[in-house]
Homo-oligomer: A and B are copies of this chain.
Amino acid sequence: MAGNSFGNLFKLTTFGESHGVAIGGIIDGCPSGLEVDFDAIQAELNRRKPGQSEIVTQRKEPDTVEFLSGIFEGKTTGTPIGFSIQNANQKSKDYSHIKDVYRPSHADYTYEKKYGIRDYRGGGRSSARETASRVVAGALAKQFLKSVKIHAYTSSVGDIFLEKPYQDLDFSQIESNVIRCPDPETAERMIDRIKAIKKQGNTIGGTITCVLQNVPAGLGEPVFDKLHAELGKAMLSINAVKGFEYGSGFCGAKMTGTEHNDLFNADGSTKTNLSGGIQGGISNGMDIYFRVAFKPVATVIQKQEALNSRGELVDMQGKGRHDPCVVPRAVPIVEAMAALVLADYYLLNNTNK
């Protein structure tokens, strides 16, 4: 209820603050007998890790996951999988300057209103550091899902858009550049934009598109827990996300029925896929695709006014080592959350028997 769990049957619960001892989580409900590829999990974590390129934060965190339970002789046992990631930064920095200060567009003020207390060091629980635990669980979910292919990529940075539809892209190019955009020319422009923004001590927003392929027809629950509703919630739960659309999305709202309807082929596939692979909340076997909007990071190096706990407006200035744009590091997080949603519905679908 306090909202630190995601999923029902393949369920992740996370704990941890940015500058506490460790972050981590418990994965409950992963079926037994799954051979775990530990390297693949660490590889996903590395995609999210700080310091991986010059367009992300230069903080140093090794982000090494340790599994504490639920895996025996390399295989899952069906019991809960506990894991932790030590925080390297734990005591490295003095945060007293933000102790009593609510930074604009951060969660400082709202945590204070909700809890009357907060761990102010580095954002505490509201830090995106928490998403490392999601990536661990999502990487395991990917292994469980096997044949399903999950590809997220950067589809815009500021007003630079990757105009090509996903069908025209080569997903194997996503990791070929640091912005994770599969179109090399657009990638370069995005990277340049982020470098320029960073030089100004500013930040910039962007969008990520995600495509789920080989999802079997019949996944999802038709009323409140529609497959796209759960995907939407999953994405909106990622730090800095402001919007979610799937299939035709907001453009679909401008269309007419005859334009929008996906006519069938005789094999049950559809000629078009404005539905985005989901009809009535249930997958139809076509590609599922959606787009996620991220706002610009709130911490800027330029001076801004903040509020302190005595109701005074005070000048403040972000210190270095923040992301000028979250999008490149958010790509594996989007994939992880999508994998968690699918794993949960996959298990749930087995109960209708």
Please name all residues of chain B whose beta carbon is closer than 8 Å to the beta carbon of A250 when the two chains form the complex: 207, 242-243, 245, 250, 293
- Nearest chain B CB to A243's CB is how many angstroms away? 3
- Interface stretch of the complex, out of A1-9, A37-45, A48-56, A164-172: A1-9
A24 on interface, CB distance cutoff 8 Å: yes
**Per a CB cutoff under 8 Å, which of B3, B25, B75, B263 touches A304?**
B263
- Interface stretch of the complex, out of A57-65, A145-153, A179-187, A196-204: A196-204
| B242 x A311 contact (CB < 8 A) | no
How far does the alpha carbon of A252 sit from the alpha carbon of B263 in the complex, in Å? Answer: 34
Copies of this protein chain in the complex: 4
A328 on interface, CB distance cutoff 8 Å: no
How far does the alpha carbon of A296 sit from the alpha carbon of B247 in the complex, in Å? Answer: 13
How far does the alpha carbon of A106 sit from the alpha carbon of B282 in the complex, in Å? Answer: 11
**Per a CB cutoff under 8 Å, which of B9, B253, B307 touches A156?**
B253
Please name all residues of chain B whose beta carbon is closer than 8 Å to the beta carbon of A281 when the two chains form the complex: 3, 107, 110, 237
| B280 x A126 contact (CB < 8 A) | yes
How far does the alpha carbon of A352 sit from the alpha carbon of B29 in the complex, in Å? Answer: 8
A82-B15, A106-B279 are known contacts. Are A69 and B256 too (CB-CB below 8 A)? no
How far does the alpha carbon of A282 sit from the alpha carbon of B124 in the complex, in Å? Answer: 15
Contact with B along A275-301 (1 / 0, CB 8 A): 110111111110000000111111110
- Nearest chain B CB to A64's CB is how many angstroms away? 14
Q: Could you write out 17 A-B pairs with CB less than 8 Å apart?
A: A3-B281, A8-B8, A13-B80, A77-B117, A104-B262, A105-B274, A109-B217, A110-B282, A156-B254, A206-B253, A229-B232, A229-B234, A252-B295, A257-B296, A257-B299, A259-B296, A260-B296
List A residues at the B interface (Cβ < 8 Å).
1-6, 8-9, 11, 13-17, 20-26, 28-29, 31-33, 66-70, 72, 75, 77-82, 84, 102, 104-107, 109-111, 113-119, 124-126, 130, 156, 158-159, 197, 202-207, 217-226, 228-230, 232-234, 236-237, 239, 242-250, 252-268, 270, 274-276, 278-285, 293-300, 302, 304-307, 311-313, 347-353
13 new A-B pairs (CB below 8 Å) besides A205-B255, A264-B313? A9-B351, A32-B352, A77-B124, A105-B275, A107-B281, A110-B284, A126-B280, A206-B253, A257-B298, A260-B296, A264-B306, A274-B295, A351-B351
